[in-house]
Structure formats: C-alpha cells, structure tokens
Structure 1
C-alpha cells in the first residue's frame, strides 16, 4: 500500500502567507498619499499588523480573525491612511471559504462586503471613484467564489478517494470470500474422493489380515479390491490436481461422476463387503451437471459412513422427477449398537460437506438415526433455484 505523501504544516503555510501580506501592505506605504490622506506612521504599521497577522490563525479562530481584520480595515479607512488595504481582506475571505463551511463563509462574505462599503464611503472626497467600488466588490466576490470552488473540489476529491477505498475493500472482501469458497469446494472434493476410497481400503486390509493364514483366495480378493480402489482414487486426485493447475474443468482427465455412475459405486462398495441394494426411478439424462455431481457425492459419502459406522446392508433409493432429484440412503445399524456417523468418533466433515452441497443448489438435507435403528440420509435437490 503506498505511503501517503506528507505536505507542509498548515500552520506554517498560514504564517508564511500572513508575513507575505504584511510585507505587501508595508511596501504600499511608500506610495504618495493624496491631498486628503495621511502618510503612514506607527499607528499605520500597527493596523497593518492587525490586518495581516490574523490569517495565521484563521483555521482555528475564523470568527476572531475576521473580526480583527475588519475592525482594522475600518480603523485604517476612518483614519484616512493611504494605500487601501483590501488585499489582506480578500485573502482572508478566500481562506475562510476554503477551510470553513459554506454557511459560515457566506456570513463572512456579507460582513466583508458591508465593511468594504463603510470603508470606501469613509474615504475623503475625490479618493474613491465608482469604478473603485465596483472593482472592490467584484474582487470580494471572486475571492469568495475561488475559495468555495476549491473547497468543493477538495470535498469531491475526498469523496472519490473514500469511494475508491471502499471499492478496493469490497474487492478484497470478495476475493477473500472467493478464495474461502474455493478452499471449501476443494476440501469437499478431496474428502469425497479420499474418504470413500480409504474406507474401502481400510476395510479390505482388515479382512485380508484376518484371513491371510486361513483363506488365501479371500485375502487375494481383498488385495485386488485395495488395488482397484487405490488406482481409482489416484486417478481422481490427478484429475483434480489438473483442474487446479489449469483453472478450469477442461483439464479433467475424465468426466465428473454423476447418477449414471451410481451402479459402479454400488458394485465397488459391495466388493468392499457391504451389502447394497439400489432402487432407481426416473430419467437421469435431464439432470443438470451440478445437481448430478452433488447427488453422486451424497450417495458416495453416505455409503462411506455406512462402511465405517453402520450395519451390514445399505439401501440406496434415487428418484428423478420433473423438478428435482431425491436421494435416500438407509442402513439397519449394527446388531449390538445403533450408532450413526456423528456419534461414533468421526469428525462430522462428511455430513457437513453433504449439507453444504445440497444447500448450494437450494435443496433440503436431512440426516439422523432411524426410529427402528440404523441411520438415514435424505437429500432433495431441485433442478433450478440454487447457485451453480
């Protein structure tokens, strides 16, 4: 983030301007006074100081500075000193319009005009002409307009900078939200890919270890399931890593799984030792790709939970209607204990991931123990109305 530029101290700037105004006014004392005017003396120098010094504090004490300057202006005019000191009033009015509010600066403008009218009227006859009055009032108006216009430009610029900061902050917030959403999506995909495969591998490894001494054929079958499942998991991981490297789905080495892959998933789960029944109705061809993948992941994760925590048989029911897909996976529980996935020591990430997937598409998700034992997972995914 760029460091803000440091400008001059406003107090120093105002002091320098006040000194400059004093020098300009003192130099004007050298002009030849008119017949009815007084030459500069010590009181003229004192009034010159009162006419210019208040500019140095006009930001902190605007009304005090204006009162002192206008009073000195009237005294200067009533004493008929030569060299009319209007410049210092113009500069002060410019500063008040620039650094104050519009209403206050308008009051200062009116007070300055009134003071100028009185000061010009107090001049001796023949000193002030009508053109002097007009030029003085025009200069007063120009000084106020210049200060007010510059103040408005600064306010607009400040508002634009603030808007830019807000837009940048919103952009950063959206970027962080997008990164968080992408991390969540990646976590869900990794969980769905790895959890199911590792559960199958763990079950088959346990089976093989128990029967390797007594049933070599069964041990070999368990090792074959481990080999196939591990290879499929590696392929899925390579596909996902390819997507992450290239940033789009074209990088996938094979299509994303869907409802048409459920029979293969069921067969793989049966090979792992879990009895699975499959009941399907409706047409899968019209299911949108996102809903298709979400439904597959719900079935996959549910079967993984049954393998780790459930009974010996799982029942999968898939219904594809005109408006959405309904998926239900149930099991009868273990004979000795009916423990659902969240109560048996798991992290609960699977259920959370399934719920997030379903709700992402505007669906409904239910998961919990069945009254007669076992566990049930049900998801309803509409074809429209959710995020994609």
Structure 2
C-alpha cells in the first residue's frame, strides 16, 4: 500500500463497484430470459402455424372429397334417371308399334340400343373415379355420343313432340359448360317424359347473349309435378337440385315450376367469363 492507504497499484476501487456488477449481472440474466422467451414464443407460433396449415389441408381434402362425391352423385343420377326413363318409353313404344309398323319398331329398338350403349359408357366413365388407383377425377368433357342434337333426336324417338331453337352465337368451346347445358336439357326433358301428360308441344330454347347462356324447357302437358302429388312422388327431387348445383358452378340459377299457360317450365341462367379470362 502507498502512504495514502490506497491500493498498491495506485487505482481506487469505486464505492459502487459491487452495485454496478450486480446490475450488470441482472441485466445479463434479464436479456438471456428475454431471448429465451422470444425463442420459445417463436417456436410455439411456428408450431401453431404448422398445426393450422395441417388442419387447413385436412379441411380442404375433406371438402374436395365431398365435392367430388357430389359431382359423381349428380352424374350417376343423370345417367341412370335419363337412360332408364328413355329406355322404358322406347320399349313400351316398340311393343305397341311392332305389329302395326315393323319398320318404325326397328327404329325405336335401334334408339333403345344406342341409349343403352351410351348409358353403359357413361357408367364406366363415372365409376372409374371410384377405383382406389384413380389419381384424378373423371374429366368434365363430353364423351362420345354426348351430342345435343342426338339427345334431342332420342327424345323425339321416345315420343316427345319436341321443337328446338338456338339464338345467338354457338356455345363457348368450354367442355364443362357444354356438359352443364347438356345435363340441364337432359334432366328437364327426362322429367317431361316421366311426368308429362297429354303433351302436344315441348319447346327447348337456348339463347346466348354475351357472357350469358339461357336455357328454357317448356311443355304444355297437363301432368302435375307439384310437391305432394302422385307424379311428384315418383321422383326424389335430386334432379332439380342437381341442375341448380351445376348452374351454381357458373354463378347461375335454375327455376322450375308450372308454366304461365300450364305445363311445366325450367328456366336456367348461366354466366360464362371464359373470354375475359383469356384476354
């Protein structure tokens, strides 16, 4: 020690040295705790985010599965209801005319065979998506035989006094939209064939104006398809619901009910913006 009694090296220790050391240690510990807490929060948030992503993926998969099942159900209903209705009508017609007009009976039986073959092809296409090894859903495009003019000819052969008109440009080259139009016309005419009585005229009108496609099927029959009636009890209501689901894909609507002058009327509106999407 020197003569003043201070440290031998001549440097004085501050009186608050220990206090400063304690504060520094406390700050260091606090910073360590804050860093650890931040890391913990970050890890927890990342795990929560990953959990939310997994839950979202699961919900999306379930929704996709339900949507696909509904699509298959619509296709199955349309194929079975239409084909069986037409085939029954053709069989009954052939039985009536076979003795009076064999040539006409041959035409009816030929249409019966074509309807059955088309139905079989449709069923194979739809059932194909139910296989476990099927990696993707059945395509929306029209398969062979799905031609609107052939559909209308088949209903004429089955006995419907059918008149068809198309106003405006041709339908867009969109297979999904064309299939939607086809199925709505098919379901509407199938119901006319099943429920219509004393028919003298059935009109099918398709109008395309800009991005709007309108489908109208109107008959003058005296049969009733009101809820609770005998004719309505023959169906399940899935047909109209299916048409509305199909139209909904194109932000459209379907109205079905008694016509102003009697009979039954189906009116569908579809919106198509494919041209805008391509520009």
Partner of 1:381: 270
- The 1:253/1:317 distance shift into structure 2, 3 A limit, reads closer
Larger relative CO (CA 8 A, sep 6+): 1 or 2? 2
Q: Distance in 1 between matches of 2:58 and 2:119?
A: 35
Relative to the length of structure 2, the TM-score reads: 0.78
Q: Distance in 2 between matches of 1:251 and 1:316?
A: 23
- Report SS of the residue matched to 1:338: coil
Distance change in 2, residues 1:157/1:176 (3 Å): same
Check the 8 A contact 1:314/1:331 in 2, yes or no. Answer: yes
Match of 2:209 in 1: 321
User: Which of 224, 232, 257 is residue 368 of structure 1 equivalent to?
Assistant: 257
Paired residue total:
256
Structure 1 pair 341–265 and aligned structure 2 pair: CA distance change class (3 A) = farther
Question: Per the alignment, in what secondary structure is the counterpart of residue 144 of structure 1?
Answer: helix
Distance 1:348 1:338 in 2: 14
Change (3 A) 1:365 1:195: same
What is the aligned partner in structure 2 of residue 349 from structure 1?
238
Alpha-carbon distance between aligned partners in 1 of 2:176 and 2:269, rounded to the nearest angstrom = 13
The offset of 1:246, in angstroms, is: 5.4
> Which 5+ residue runs of structure 1 have no aligned equivalent?
1-127
Matching residue of 1:83: none
1:278 aligned counterpart, secondary structure: strand
| 1:193 paired residue number | 79
Which one has a bigger Cα radius of gyration? 1
Distance 1:378 1:184, change over 3 A: same
More helix by share: 1
Q: Distance in 2 between matches of 1:342 and 1:207?
A: 29
Among 88, 91, 104, the alignment partner of 1:205 is 91
Task: Note the residue ranges of structure 2 that are not aligned, 5 or more in a row.
Answer: 1-13
The residue aligned with 1:112 is none
| RMSD over aligned Cα atoms | 3.3
CA contact (8 A) 2:171 2:178 kept: no
Q: TM-score, normalised by structure 1?
A: 0.58
Evaluate the alpha carbon distance shift between residue 341 and residue 270 of structure 1 in structure 2; reply closer, same or farther with a 3 A threshold.
farther
